[in-house]
Structure 1
Amino acid sequence: MSDVRYPFTAIVGMADLRLGLLLNAVSPAVGGVLVRGEKGTAKSTMVRALAGLLPAIAVAEGCRFACDPAAPDPQCPDAPHPAGAEHRPARLVELPVGVTEDRIVGSLDLEQALAQGVKAYEPGLLAQAHRGVLYIDEVNLLQDHVVDLLLDAAAMGRSYVEREGVSVRHAARFLLVGTMNPEEGELRPQLLDRFGLTVEIAATRDPAERAEVVRRRLAYDADPAGFAARYQAAERALAQRIEAARVLLPQVELGDPALRQITAVCAAFEVDGLRADIVMARTAVALAAWDGRTAVTEEDVRTAARLALPHRRRRNPFDAPGLDEEQLDRTLAEHAEPEEPTDPEPTDPEPTDPGPDGPADGGSDGPGGGGGAPDPAAGPDVPPTGAEAEAEADAPSATPQLPAPAPAPGRESAPVAAGDPYRTRLFKVPGTGHGAQGRRSPAETDAGQTVRARRPAGPLTRLHLTATLQAAAPHQHARGRTGRALLLRQDDFREQVRKGREANLVLFVVDASGSMAARQRMTAVKGAVLSLLMDAYQRRDKIGLITFRGTGAELALPPTSSVEVGAARLAQLPTGGRTPLAAGLLRAHEVLRLERLRDPRRRPLLVVVTDGRATGGRTALAEAGRAAALLAAQGTAAVVLDCESGPVRLGLARTLAGQLHATAVTLDELRAEGVAALVQAHRSPSLRKAA
């Protein structure tokens, strides 16, 4: 791959992303940009291109933390600094998805610190990104505690490393840019809020524009240096404009009228907290500086709202970011600075010549005159035609309508809406896992309560001080200790073992056959699954969705972190047809087998949503039992959501739960309210600790 960056000015379209990045280049206090969009839309290309436009920075000689020689950080680990300075380009630091906490904030050599009293610190990525750009591709795939570290550093402008009483801190101010594909999972709302701006992008559908994108990319691949040279003048001009806007920024005035509009807009859209108001104010000021002005205008406020508010309006994980621009315009108009009224000078009316045919305006004497049109409100009733007839036909009738009958089991019905989500019971996978940090099942994690100590298998990162001293103490005499300091050896060091919670793979297997097709029943079932999806989102799980109906089972949603996509697939789910229960369970067995190969540390939780019926009588039920036995043999933790209703119940779902070694709950028992009274009655061997 060529070392020559693709020029920023050569990128076609994406005006909002271009503007959001440039505003942060002018004023890093805006708080960074989150770029949301489908794959293959040049998100990474544009971010990397931006780094080439940033002005060069002066750095204190020999400082690993890029301190400004004019105002060095008094807490810099490399202080005091020599008098000299060097100039270098602003850095672009890219954060890999699998990054560890020590790689981000830096690492302390605890063995050297304890044995020799030397504070040996290796700077991390935050130190490298100081006064540059920190780029996080696929930020939504990072672990939560890693994202917390990054956003805290971005908000405070400082990074901290604390290890067993050894402390290091340094400045970490950078332009934070994150990209994500929403189909692969969403960020939590509180993390979304920490990004200053957000931009939604999608590939253009204009063939001519797409052709120009391909043409430029092929030209760059063929001759990167030559292609970049053709845009060198435009790149230089854009870099100069960024630098000029930075100089002008302190002179921009945010007047009371503009500030009143900013706060009114944030209040009208009911955003939480005051961070949105501050970000909007900083963005509007940066917009004015970018345009070479020293006063903020209403258009600056409107643009700032479009960039700073959409991602702050989400109330649950199933809400897509967005902004009602009509409401925005109304709010801005209501709180605009009133114009001073001016009294018009009186003028004499000009005489008109009525001409030979009467009044100049035609009066009301003809069918074409201004006053001759009939008034629909006062005129006689006439039969409606065209659009009026269609509208009248759609109006509610005074005659009460009978509810539509449930479709026959062999017919497909249109999707029905899900019921309102609610808080559900917590189901856990038994035992102790080692998966990604989350909020569901017990696991050994990087964060959590320290439960024991052990010898480290690799580099020591979480020192267990007490256990280390206990291991070293019996050998001090043999090692010839004479002073107060302990003599430590490599074998003495112990690390902490912490117990927290992990995220799991929650795989839903949903019966969408005709036996589930009664509208009220399916609304309740979808509401229950939606509630479990909400629970999976809050516990950081991956989810998957299998549906079975007709002649087989379908993987409607491959395992993903995006519960938003799962909710959308659930909403579109039709019902009807036969009930191939065994096919649904076998498909689940195959999906889980493949997921164990892809991610062996992530333990699954199977949620089967069914009334237990199967088309084909006893033979079909026997096949379903054999499929359930396969899943049970794998040790798959499972829950059966019993959807059977009516006065006569066969108990088939509970029979299936027994074959799966799973717990069975009804729709009513799924709710968190009153769980304590239900736990003992509905425990199963595989989930004995889960209820």
Structure 2
Amino acid sequence: MPQHYPFSAVVGSDDMALALLLTTISPDIGGVLVRGEKGTAKSTIVRALTTVLPPIDVVAGDRFSSDPRESTTLSPDGPFASDAKTEARPVRLVELPVGVTEDRVLGSLHLERALSEGRAEYEPGLLARAHRGILYVDEVNLLHDHLVDLLLDAAAMGRSTVERDGVSVEHAARFVLVGTMNPEEGELRPQLLDRFGLTVEVAASRDPAVRVDVVRRRLAYDADPDGFAATYDDAERALTARIVKSQEIVGTVHLSEQALWKIAEVCAAFDVDGMRADIVTARTAVAHAAWHGRTEVTREDIRAAARLALPHRRRRNPFDAPGLDEDLLDQVLGDDELPPEPPPEGDDQGDDDPIPGDAPEQAPEDDTHSEPGQPEALDDGTSEAPCDSTATPDEVQDHPAPAPTGSEDTTQATVTAGDPYRTKVFTVRGTGTGAAGRRSRAITQFGHRVGTTRPDGSGGSIHLIETIRAAAPHQAIRGRTTGALRFRGDDLRVASHEGKEANLILFCVDASGSMAARTRMEQVKTAILSLLLDAYRRRDKVGLVTFRGGAAELALPPTHSVEIAARRLAELPAGGRTPLAEGLLEAARVLEVERVRDPRRRPLLVVLTDGRATAGADAVARSHQAARLLAAHNVGAVVIDCESGPMRLGLARTLAEHLLAEHVPVAEVSVSALTHTVHERVA
């Protein structure tokens, strides 16, 4: 079997390598999230990490990797004698596939022994195997929500509790969580994002010399894996020895009061949520000092820790750009090294002593820099006034729309969206069978139990009672007189659950001249941005079709990344005639392609238009024909009516009737606006 690619042979991923090494020196940091484009050696370097980690001691024969140095162990195989045999083994890298089932993660009833011997015995899952090791999730952003919840619980508690299938077990589950992801496929849930201690952005180098070195090494490895690995044996052993030394001294590294205050100032300056950022930054700074053989945390340690621990904690929503303003970081840290901690002066020290960090020598820094909690240099781009999504018709008339027919308007304008709001929930009719999500009703592997089915190869929890009930009538034919029941494969039954699924939300946006009025386009873009945020929270895929002038365009192929969709939306110009039929036909084409690619994911078409069709002969008739074509294919749809003003033609409502779609005025997309309208009508 070929060896793993050597850890020390990886080129151009210094920040990622450092973050991984720091978490192995101090596992309490909480793991690493690696974000980056395809082909940047994310998986390669994670799998290579275990080859340089020192082995760990475990209790011999224990399935849960208990540490023999612990006085009490949380292991179902225990308790163990004080003189129990021990053994050394390599640190495990346990990979968690995106499509893994819950019982494989947690562990469950040992089915074979339960059916053949009638004994309820627990079979450990992946969390048990990952204890004191590394739990690696590739494409962690595609992990189902219920599995994310399991990881959150285990990461927070350091243990896993299993209460299912007649099994009640609790075992230790302390591991370094490493996740890799491509941001183009969508973002992580904020709760899981915050559980990663450190985050790293990786990208392929634009330096030709570095790229040549990467290719040269990879080709050499592919040609002779063992020989290539042998050339890095000395570097790998030196790296292992450095990790061992760092692990030995990390507990002796001193974090002074001045360093602690500086960490607090940095976290306050970047306006991070909660206190986890301060704790993780402190732990990372200590580990960084140990990695460099220091016993005192320095300014450089704090800077390195902040670069890794803070970028993902500054984001307020998925549209915020990740990253850290390093100029602001340097400004808060200052140019001077941390002063040495003053020696204790005895018990006569009073309450009026100066606070560490406010020493006289730091006064010039306070005079030249902004306050730690209110940095003037921090500009997150959120100073725009919010858009009023419930603008009155009179307000819209300040920018009148062009007439439905006439000469083509060649004006092009780009309007920014306002702040997103909470939207009404739009769902697909009926019950689907798609991937677990948070939008439409579906038969899924998780949710409330509604029946049983025979297994179809997609997993699911076994329904033991129904399995026994299916086998019981056939015992005489199978020759059973006494003893255990005799089962066959077709007796097996799995539980059927009803929950929620994720959908494909395809936006079909009218960007013609009739929509180009500034107030109207701002209102439309704000509505789309709000719906994108809702799609992110419900784990949907999103796509964007626009139509203007004489044609329609697929501005964004369906993707999990609402971040990219928001960028495309911001760049969307408006002007020209309205090829409504072409827009609907392009949407139909995109949905047909996606139906072949992912037949279980049901689509929801969201059309944002005022309903005016002005491009080509018989534009209105062709648009209605295209709408009926989509309706004939049972495409769930919503028409968001963007028409405004005192004189309304009602064309979007007519389009919705042909499309068999829900009709919603754009002002009622917002939950608050819709509630206000309902209250007015009831009154």
Give the TM-score taking structure 2 as reference length. Answer: 0.83
The answer on 1:562 being equivalent to 2:561 is: yes
The answer on 1:244 being equivalent to 2:267 is: no
Aligned to 1:351: none
The one-letter code matched in structure 2 to 1:219 is: A
Aligned to 1:428: 427
Aligned to 1:97: 98
Q: Alpha carbons of 1:3 and 1:679: their partners in 2 closer, same or farther (altered >3 Å)?
A: farther
Aligned to 2:174: 173
Confirm or deny: 8 A CA contact 2:108 2:167 kept in the other structure.
Answer: no
What is the deviation of 1:247? 0.4
Write the distance in 2 (CA, Å) between the matches of 1:274 and 1:530. Answer: 30
Q: Alpha carbons of 1:285 and 1:434: their partners in 2 closer, same or farther (altered >3 Å)?
A: same
* Bigger mean CA deviation after superposition, 503-512 or 573-582: 573-582
What is the deviation of 1:486? 12
Confirm or deny: 8 A CA contact 2:11 2:210 kept in the other structure.
Answer: yes
Aligned to 1:56: 55
Write the distance in 2 (CA, Å) between the matches of 1:425 and 1:679. Answer: 13
* Bigger mean CA deviation after superposition, 611-620 or 238-247: 611-620
Indicate the SS of the match to 1:176: strand
Write the distance in 1 (CA, Å) between the matches of 2:29 and 2:585. Answer: 51
Indicate the SS of the match to 1:39: coil
Write the distance in 2 (CA, Å) between the matches of 1:460 and 1:104. Answer: 13
What is the deviation of 1:504? 0.9
What is the deviation of 1:418? 1.0
Aligned to 1:673: 672
* Bigger mean CA deviation after superposition, 417-426 or 608-617: 608-617
Confirm or deny: 8 A CA contact 1:61 1:81 kept in the other structure.
Answer: no
Alignment of 1:32-51 (within 5 A): 32-51=31-50
Aligned to 1:534: 533
The one-letter code matched in structure 2 to 1:279 is: V
Write the distance in 2 (CA, Å) between the matches of 1:577 and 1:459. Answer: 49
Alignment of 1:243-642 (within 5 A): 243-333=244-334, 337=357, 409-453=408-452, 462=461, 495-616=494-615, 619-642=618-641
Q: Alpha carbons of 1:145 and 1:460: their partners in 2 closer, same or farther (altered >3 Å)?
A: closer
Indicate the SS of the match to 1:424: coil
Aligned to 1:347: none
The one-letter code matched in structure 2 to 1:24 is: T
Aligned to 2:659: 660
Deviations 1:382-413 (A, max 9, x none): xxxxxxxxxxxxxxxxxxxxx99989844251
Confirm or deny: 8 A CA contact 2:108 2:164 kept in the other structure.
Answer: no
What is the deviation of 1:305? 1.2
Q: Alpha carbons of 1:527 and 1:458: their partners in 2 closer, same or farther (altered >3 Å)?
A: closer
Write the distance in 1 (CA, Å) between the matches of 2:615 and 2:277. Answer: 59
Confirm or deny: 8 A CA contact 2:436 2:502 kept in the other structure.
Answer: yes
Confirm or deny: 8 A CA contact 1:446 1:498 kept in the other structure.
Answer: yes
Q: Alpha carbons of 1:681 and 1:337: their partners in 2 closer, same or farther (altered >3 Å)?
A: closer
Write the distance in 2 (CA, Å) between the matches of 1:673 and 1:338. Answer: 47
The one-letter code matched in structure 2 to 1:256 is: E
What is the deviation of 1:470? 8.8
The one-letter code matched in structure 1 to 2:51 is: G
Aligned to 1:147: 148
Aligned to 1:225: 226
* Bigger mean CA deviation after superposition, 566-575 or 485-494: 485-494
Write the distance in 1 (CA, Å) between the matches of 2:459 and 2:569. Answer: 46
Aligned to 1:183: 184
Write the distance in 1 (CA, Å) between the matches of 2:517 and 2:160. Answer: 57
Aligned to 2:194: 193
**Number of matched pairs:** 620
Indicate the SS of the match to 1:53: coil
Write the distance in 1 (CA, Å) between the matches of 2:653 and 2:308. Answer: 51
Alignment of 1:9-88 (within 5 A): 9-71=8-70, 74-79=73-78, 83-88=84-89
Write the distance in 2 (CA, Å) between the matches of 1:340 and 1:594. Answer: 68
Write the distance in 2 (CA, Å) between the matches of 1:313 and 1:454. Answer: 46
* Bigger mean CA deviation after superposition, 449-458 or 89-98: 449-458
Write the distance in 2 (CA, Å) between the matches of 1:611 and 1:657. Answer: 11
Confirm or deny: 8 A CA contact 1:409 1:513 kept in the other structure.
Answer: no
Indicate the SS of the match to 1:673: helix
Write the distance in 2 (CA, Å) between the matches of 1:535 and 1:79. Answer: 47
Aligned to 1:163: 164
Write the distance in 2 (CA, Å) between the matches of 1:181 and 1:458. Answer: 28
* Bigger mean CA deviation after superposition, 153-162 or 583-592: 153-162
Confirm or deny: 8 A CA contact 1:77 1:170 kept in the other structure.
Answer: yes
Aligned to 2:366: none
Confirm or deny: 8 A CA contact 1:406 1:519 kept in the other structure.
Answer: no
Write the distance in 2 (CA, Å) between the matches of 1:53 and 1:9. Answer: 9
Q: Alpha carbons of 1:5 and 1:641: their partners in 2 closer, same or farther (altered >3 Å)?
A: same
Write the distance in 2 (CA, Å) between the matches of 1:218 and 1:470. Answer: 58
Confirm or deny: 8 A CA contact 2:6 2:232 kept in the other structure.
Answer: yes
Write the distance in 1 (CA, Å) between the matches of 2:408 and 2:661. Answer: 28
Deviations 1:419-476 (A, max 9, x none): 2211111111111112222211112223323344556667995466887899999999
The one-letter code matched in structure 1 to 2:603 is: P
Confirm or deny: 8 A CA contact 1:245 1:292 kept in the other structure.
Answer: yes
Write the distance in 2 (CA, Å) between the matches of 1:466 and 1:209. Answer: 61
The one-letter code matched in structure 1 to 2:651 is: L
Aligned to 1:685: none
Write the distance in 2 (CA, Å) between the matches of 1:539 and 1:162. Answer: 28
What is the deviation of 1:63? 2.6
What is the deviation of 1:154? 2.8
The one-letter code matched in structure 2 to 1:660 is: L
Q: Alpha carbons of 1:414 and 1:60: their partners in 2 closer, same or farther (altered >3 Å)?
A: same
Indicate the SS of the match to 2:87: strand
Unaligned runs of 5+ in 2: 337-354, 363-397
Q: Alpha carbons of 1:404 and 1:312: their partners in 2 closer, same or farther (altered >3 Å)?
A: same
Aligned to 2:343: none
Q: Alpha carbons of 1:618 and 1:537: their partners in 2 closer, same or farther (altered >3 Å)?
A: same
Q: CA RMSD in A?
A: 3.4
What is the deviation of 1:272? 1.9
* Bigger mean CA deviation after superposition, 540-549 or 105-114: 105-114
Write the distance in 1 (CA, Å) between the matches of 2:632 and 2:679. Answer: 25
The one-letter code matched in structure 2 to 1:259 is: L
Confirm or deny: 8 A CA contact 2:2 2:226 kept in the other structure.
Answer: no
The one-letter code matched in structure 1 to 2:608 is: V
What is the deviation of 1:569? 0.6
Write the distance in 1 (CA, Å) between the matches of 2:130 and 2:2. Answer: 19
Confirm or deny: 8 A CA contact 1:264 1:331 kept in the other structure.
Answer: yes
Write the distance in 2 (CA, Å) between the matches of 1:676 and 1:190. Answer: 29
Give the number of the structure whose alpha-carbon radius of gyration is greater: 1
Q: Alpha carbons of 1:669 and 1:340: their partners in 2 closer, same or farther (altered >3 Å)?
A: closer
Confirm or deny: 8 A CA contact 1:34 1:199 kept in the other structure.
Answer: yes
Aligned to 2:108: 107
Confirm or deny: 8 A CA contact 1:261 1:336 kept in the other structure.
Answer: no
Confirm or deny: 8 A CA contact 1:507 1:605 kept in the other structure.
Answer: yes
Indicate the SS of the match to 2:168: strand
Q: Alpha carbons of 1:458 and 1:19: their partners in 2 closer, same or farther (altered >3 Å)?
A: closer
Deviations 1:282-317 (A, max 9, x none): 111101111111111222122211111110111111
Indicate the SS of the match to 1:193: helix
Write the distance in 1 (CA, Å) between the matches of 2:458 and 2:541. Answer: 30
What is the deviation of 1:503? 1.2
The one-letter code matched in structure 1 to 2:619 is: A
The one-letter code matched in structure 2 to 1:448 is: G
Aligned to 2:644: 645
